[in-house]
Amino acid sequence: MSPTDPSSAKASGSNFIRNIIDADLAANKFAPRRWSGRPGPAEQHKVSLGDTPKIRTRFPPEPNGYLHFGHAKSICLNFGLARDYGGACHLRFDDTNPEKEEQEYVDSIIDAVKWLGFDWGANLYYASNYFDWMYAFAEYLIESGNAYVDSQSAEEMRASRGTLTEPGKASPYRNRSAAENLDLFRRMKAGEFADGAHVLRARIDMASPNINLRDPAIYRIKRATHHNTGDAWCIYPMYTYAHPIEDALENITHSICTLEFEDQRPFYDWLLERLAEGGLLQRPLPQQIEFARLNLSYVVLSKRKLIQLVEEKHVDGWDDPRLPTLVGARRRGFTAEGFRRFADMIGVAKSDSWIDMSVLEGCMRDHLNETALRRIAVLDPVRLVIDNYPEDQEEMCEAPNHPQQPDWGRREIPFAKELWIEREDFTEHPPKGYFRLFPGNTVRLRYGYVVKCTGCVKDEAGNIKSVHCIYLPDTKSGTPGADSVKVKGNIHWVSAKHAYQAEVRLYDRLFSAEAPGAGGRDFIDDLNPDSKRIIAAQLEPALKEAIPEERFQFERHGYFVADRVDSRPGAPAFNRAVTLKDSWSKAR
């Protein structure tokens, strides 16, 4: 499939971004190019598009937090486009802000993108490696009359910026000569001035209806140690200045970002045009395209709020399975394929909308249904004693590993006189339509025998200690007599003697409100108090050998994963990923 073949876009459904790319490729917009213009620093960064016109996208996280579900949308979009069009997608750490960035976040982001199934090849970059370029470009802007050093205070600058309806006022320093500006800027870099004493501003238009074009700041003095460049710099570029340059230096063709950057696009274009005019960048220049961010109900996707949840210990760390972080989702048992399907399903649009959490859960459920081995688990155990089954007898019952995948084989489950069954599968006083165990009723023990309930034994407080029954010896599943007795109920069980007792965490949504914090409430008040419940469950013995991250359907309960952090060899703990059905929509 050639990259210009429009059918190449069909793989993940068409959308407005693919239409733009198709048109650009049809117009052969991306001829091969190399850098020219003024020589850059020795370790200058070069990316060549090669000989074929292909697209280049990038995923540019700031390493100041863990990636969340919103980032997954952006990752799937950017890497997905590169994959479908035979282009490349760069992983670029947008680390121009020295204060909040940490190696821990860099590592976690690398892990998360890999986990989602994407590969950047050799295209891993750090914006901070372009500081020399950004500085050289700023000097050029000064020389060409496109930037000046402003010595107003922050308050003065804010006061003279104007409003949406009123133009801004020119700074008294706006008409400094290029020579004076260059001298001041070099001394800013040399550390001669205190933080905040001066800023470098682009010289555009103080009367522009777009406030972002009213001489935005592009460099500030900030004495802070940077995780990559250490103390080499005491001036740092502003994000809005750095980002277009990063894109251009990496030959990005389509710089895809969320809608809140729409008003920044004129500055993005202005800056790159000036640099191209001066011969510092070659055309064609990258183009910024905005799409609607992911808004998901029942979670918060703001880094600030996620940090608060972690720091105030409302959750157990960044990888808490209830958090909408990718590390959390992974521990929860969500799958990378589920996220990719979700991204394809919701598509990309140009206006904001909300996606219900059940859509994401549905994608996970569908994928887990296809891929998870079936196992038996009793989550709320009560003992079932088969009074007519010999004390020392044991036998094996057979169950398929997956009902739709006969190739995945079958497994043996031990059967004995005493079993664990779910407490709710027995009642003394059955309501109408209850077909499970009650005195006098017969049910099938799934993959085993038909049993007839004879009653129960209670303690002094009236709690049921054990349920009693007799079994019908000729009714074992898979034998000729299996269907000789018709029953309406079918319950699951594990042999008490053979069961593996494990810690199982029943996770539910972290927030009980659809839009946490809406209407001026504190979002913390919307936390769901029942989002985590830890139980001691009785599991079929095969589950003892589960390896971390192995996922299962616990029949009748939902999808579970062997926890990748707390499991020990031969002693896995399990987390619930999703229930079998969408219990939230039913409740509403």
Task: Give the C-alpha distances (Å, rounded to integers) separating 543 from 222, 388, 510, 574, 577.
Answer: 55, 29, 27, 10, 16
Reference 209, options 146, 164, 245, 178; nearest CA is 164
Whose Cβ is closer to ligand ATP: residue 70's or residue 572's?
70
Whose Cβ is closer to ligand ATP: residue 189's or residue 243's?
243
Q: How far is the CB of 343 from ligand ATP (least distance, A)?
A: 10
Interface pick for ligand ATP out of 45, 174, 293, 374 (rule CB under 6 A): 293
Interface pick for ligand ATP out of 74, 253, 335, 553 (rule CB under 6 A): 74
Q: Provide, for the chain, the percentages of residues in helix, strand and coil under a 3-state DSSP scheme, each rounded to the nearest 5.
A: 30, 25, 45
Whose Cβ is closer to ligand ATP: residue 234's or residue 294's?
294
DSSP states along 483-528: TSS--SEEE--EETTT-EEEEEEEE--SBSSSSTTGGG--GGGGB-
Task: Give the C-alpha distances (Å, rounded to integers) separating 185 from 147, 236, 240.
Answer: 10, 12, 19
The Cα–Cα gap between 87 and 56 comes to: 6
Q: Is 303 a catalytic residue?
A: yes
Instruction: Please tell me what DSSP assigns to residue 317.
Output: S
The Cα–Cα gap between 486 and 43 comes to: 79
Q: Which stretch binds ligand ATP (CB under 6 A): 66-74, 418-426, 442-450, 516-524?
A: 66-74
Q: Which stretch binds ligand ATP (CB under 6 A): 70-78, 319-327, 380-388, 433-441?
A: 70-78
Reference 417, options 392, 438, 396, 444; nearest CA is 392
Q: Which of 293, 374, 446, 544 is catalytic?
A: 293
Site for ligand ATP contains 73 (CB under 6 A) = yes
Q: How far is the CB of 440 from ligand ATP (least distance, A)?
A: 57
Whose Cβ is closer to ligand ATP: residue 62's or residue 503's?
62
Interface pick for ligand ATP out of 53, 60, 324, 572 (rule CB under 6 A): 60
Whose Cβ is closer to ligand ATP: residue 59's or residue 140's?
59
Site for ligand ATP contains 70 (CB under 6 A) = yes
Site for ligand ATP contains 257 (CB under 6 A) = yes
What character string, x for contact with ligand ATP (CB under 6 A) and - otherwise, covers 319-338? Answer: --------------------
Q: Which of 176, 201, 303, 365 is catalytic?
A: 303
CB hemisphere CA count around 298 (13 angstroms): 17
Count of residues of this chain found to bind ligand ATP when the rule CB under 6 A is applied: 14
Q: Please give the span between the terminal C-alpha atoms of the chain, in angstroms, as a whole number.
A: 47
Residue 494 bridge partners (DSSP) = 420
The Cα–Cα gap between 104 and 97 comes to: 16
Whose Cβ is closer to ligand ATP: residue 357's or residue 451's?
357
Q: How far is the CB of 182 from ligand ATP (least distance, A)?
A: 32
Whose Cβ is closer to ligand ATP: residue 288's or residue 442's?
288
Interface pick for ligand ATP out of 61, 98, 216, 244 (rule CB under 6 A): 61
Please answer whether residues 287 and 321 qualify as being in contact, where contact means their C-beta atoms are separated by less than 8 angstroms. no
Cβ-Cβ contacts under 8 Å for 353 (sequence gap 6 or more) = 292, 295
The Cα–Cα gap between 520 and 277 comes to: 48
Site for ligand ATP contains 227 (CB under 6 A) = no
Interface pick for ligand ATP out of 17, 294, 453, 506 (rule CB under 6 A): 294
Site for ligand ATP contains 258 (CB under 6 A) = yes
Please answer whether residues 276 and 300 qualify as being in contact, where contact means their C-beta atoms are separated by less than 8 angstroms. no
Q: Is 293 a catalytic residue?
A: yes
CA 207 to centroid of chain Cα atoms = 41
Q: Which positions from 296 through 315 interact with ligand ATP, judged by CB under 6 A?
A: 301, 303
Positions annotated as catalytic residues are 62, 293, 303
Contact residues for ligand ATP, defined by CB under 6 A: 60-62, 64, 70-71, 73-74, 257-258, 293-294, 301, 303
